[in-house]
Amino acid sequence: MSSDDVDGNKILAEALVAQGVKYVFGIVGIPVIELSMAIQQAGLHFVGMRNEQAACYAAQAIGYLTKRPGVCLVVSGPGLLHTLGGMANAQMNCWPLLVIGGSCAQDHEGIGGFQECPQVNLARPYCKYSARPPGLTLIPTHVEKAVRLSLYGRPGVSYLDFPGNILAQRVSDSKVVHTAICPEPPLAWPDPALVSQAASLIVRSMRPLVIVGKGAAYAGAEVIVRDFVRTFNLPVLPTPMGKGVVDDNDFHCVSSARTTALQHADTILLLGARLNWILHFGRPPRFDPNVRIIQVDICAEELHNSVPAKVAIHADIGTFTRQLIQQLIGHAWALRYMSPWWGQLNSKSDKNKAVIMKMTQDTRIPLNYYTVFHHIQEAIPKDCIIVSEGANTMDIGRSMLRNRLPKHRLDAGTFGTMGVGPGFAVAAALWCQDYAPDKRVICVEGDSAFGFSGMEIETMFSSCESSHVTGIPCSPYMQANWEFTALYNSLHLIQSFVKKFK
Ligand code: ADP
């Protein structure tokens, strides 16, 4: 062995660092034990979890929050199989994720190797890219490609497979094809003619509506989108994870008149949301059959899906909105004549708010969801990240718990996956630790949803004790959440729970 020899573990760990990866979540075992050590030696932040699925949820949440894929590191066979649910969830949510699976040594393949499994093929339906690097020297090339594909175009999942013998092999460092960091994804610019058509539709509209999805949050387009709706006084409806791109408390946010807004809008500007089940497919009876849709998406294949768009624009939301503002500037006066539409929305909103307010006053035991959430909302820090799942817990929580900031709501998402909460919360807490130390994470779980990944509570506490996750800001809240199932029983309990937030 010469002094400049490196093994596959070191090459892979350093390739991840070179691609700007910072966080790895996973479960360690044969054949990735040495890899997990190399990863930590290379300076990556490794969090050991209790189940691969939850590790995969954590890795994708950090990808959504940071716009660089988090890595989910798993063992062969069952390890990768447990991860598939998480991969599908990330792919459906369009979040960047890199899964790295150890796999059975190549000279044991086909003869009943330990945890032998066709992993590259199994991963493929849930990925944009699934591959096994053919040898040590090309590992950095494949890592760069996996990271690039997870980020470019519509974000999604990459899978890389590493047989134990490849990880353990050694080669001279001079032979390794080291690869530079893949640049930030290119911004797609809109066709100015289409922006002009969009502007003209909006100006002629009597009942316009802007729908903001989690694509707008991912795009980091909150400043320009807020500027846009305020300048032109447009009503905005966020999807569940589009909440916070425009502050829920902003006058322009019409969530409390959602049904009226969807049913009566004559022109809808769709910014980073799909017309899938979350938006009732964009079809009657929830939408006006003659509604004109202006669809903006970074994924050209998404355009016209479910309902043909009147104007379909392949662009980044930020670049599009900036150009749209320019086109509309001279027409701001026209849009201010929407008072009947605002009147309709405000009157419905007032009525709905009154009904809900009445429900929050009902303190009979067991407490109803609205009363519980009303008191939680009063207590929690107004800029905290809210992780939420469960059926009623998530649905009612969506309207009762407010988001002021983008990417501050993480929930069951496009795939409706239950069990995501604890993994998402671990990732969010880590993000807070590194980027916003004073921020808190609150995980509001339905009891059934919690059960899927409940063991990750231990990850939160054990990680806190290790040097890696010391001081995770959410840990006191996680502790408090143990009392959550009891909250429905009395207002007194809620009040004592709430004191912990102060
Ligand atoms: P929601 O769940 O909030 O309705 P979806 O996940 O259904 O949102 O849709 C998000 C959409 O945003 C996807 O179609 C995705 O391609 C798109 N998207 C992601 N990033 C951008 C971006 N930077 N600009 C435009 N569209 C984007």
* 336-to-202, 232, 254, 293, 320 alpha-carbon distances in Å: 12, 7, 17, 21, 22
* Radius of gyration in angstroms for the set of CA atoms belonging to the chain, rounded to a whole number: 24
**Pocket lining: 414 vs ligand 1, CB cutoff 6 Å:** yes
Question: Stretch 248-258: mean pLDDT, rounded?
Answer: 97
Least Cα distance to 190 among 294, 313, 295 occurs for 313
Residue 403 structure tokens: 């988001």
Distance of CA 87 to the CA centre of its chain: 13
Is 219 a pocket residue for ligand 1 (Cβ < 6 Å)? yes
In short, whether 299's Cβ falls inside 6 Å of ligand 1 is yes
Q: Residues 164-210: pLDDT tens digits?
A: 999 999 999 999 999 999 999 999 999 999 999 999 999 999 999 99
Centre of ligand 1 to C-alpha 296, Å, is 9
Nearest to 93 by CA among 213, 204, 203: 213
pLDDT of residue 336: 61
Checking if the pLDDT of 138 tops 80, the result is yes
Q: Which atom of ligand 1 is nearest to the CA of 299?
A: 16
Residue 82 phi, psi dihedral angles, 5° rounding: -65, -20
Say what the pLDDT of residue 474 is: 30
Distance between CA atoms of residues 62 and 197, nearest Å: 37
Nearest Cα residue to atom 7 of ligand 1: 274
- Residue 298 Cβ inside 6 Å of ligand 1? The answer reads yes
Dihedral over alpha carbons 105, 109, 114, 117 (to 10 degrees): 110
Q: What pLDDT sits at residue 487?
A: 43
Give me ligand 1 centre to Cα 214, in Å: 6
Q: Are strands 157-163 and 5-7 parallel, antiparallel or unpaired?
A: unpaired
Stronger pLDDT, 447 or 203, i.e. the higher one: 203
Query: Do residues 130 and 99 make contact, with C-beta atoms less than 8 angstroms apart?
Result: no
44/23 Cα distance (integer angstroms)? 6
37, 111, 118, 440, 470 from 437: Cα distances, Å: 27, 51, 42, 8, 12
Residue 280 Cβ < 6 Å to ligand 1: no
Q: Where would I find the H helices in 67-153?
A: 78-93, 119-123, 139-151
* Maximum separation of any 2 CA atoms in the chain, in Å: 80
Residue 331's pLDDT is 77
In angstroms, the CA 424 to CA 414 distance is 15
How does the average pLDDT of the chain come out, rounded? Answer: 91
Nearest to 61 by CA among 467, 443, 479: 443
Residue in this structure with the two tokens 């307010």, named with its chain if needed: 357
- How far, in Å, from the CA of 270 to the mean position of ligand 1? 10
Chain centroid offset of residue 36 CA: 25
Q: Which residues share a beta bridge with 111?
A: none
What separation in Å is there between the alpha carbon of 404 and the centre of ligand 1?
20
* Distance from the alpha carbon of residue 371 to the mean position of ligand 1, in angstroms: 33
Measure 222 CA to ligand 1 centroid, in angstroms.
14
Q: How confident is the model at residue 325 (pLDDT cuts 50, 70, 90)?
A: very high
Buried b (16+ CB within 10 A) or exposed e, 147-165: bbbbbbbbbbbbbbbbbbb
Worst-scoring range by mean pLDDT, 4-8, 281-285, 470-474? 470-474
Q: Is the CB of 244 under 6 A from ligand 1?
A: no
Cβ proximity of 321 and 310 under 8 Å: no
CB 215 within 8 A of CB 374: no
| Residue-wise pLDDT tens digits, 77-127 | 999 999 999 999 999 999 999 999 999 999 999 999 999 999 999 999 999
The alpha-helical segments, DSSP class H, found in 361-437 are 369-379, 391-400, 421-435
Tell me the percentage of the chain whose pLDDT exceeds 90. 81
- Euclidean distance between CA atoms 11 and 166, whole angstroms: 11
User: Distance (Å, rounded) from C-alpha 184 to C-alpha 246?
Assistant: 25
- Residue 182 three-state SS: coil
Whether residue 393 contacts residue 449, with contact meaning beta carbons closer than 8 Å, is answered with yes
Q: Are 360 and 370 in contact (CB under 8 A)?
A: yes
At residue 387, the pLDDT reads: 94
Both tokens of 384, joined, read 């905290």
115 contact partners, CB below 8 Å, separation of at least 6: 30, 75, 76, 77, 78, 79, 103, 104
Q: Distance (Å, rounded) from C-alpha 482 to C-alpha 402? A: 22
- Best of 151, 274, 302, 306 for a ligand 1 pocket test (most atoms within 8 Å of beta carbon): 274
Question: Rounded to the nearest whole angstrom, what is the distance from the C-alpha of residue 323 to the centroid of ligand 1?
Answer: 19
Q: Which domains does the chain have, with CATH numbers?
A: 5-175 (3.40.50.970), 192-346 (3.40.50.1220), 362-500 (3.40.50.970)
Summarised one tens digit per residue, pLDDT across range 296-317 is 999 999 999 999 999 999 999 9
User: Reduced to 3 states, what is the DSSP secondary structure of residue 281?
Assistant: helix
* Ligand 1 pocket residue status of 154, Cβ below 6 Å: yes
**Mean predicted confidence (pLDDT) in 345-361:** 96
ipTM of the assembly?
0.99
Amino acid symbol at 165: N
| 173 burial level (CB within 10 Å; 0-12, 13-18, 19+) | middle
- 3 state SS of 226: helix
Residues in the chain: 502
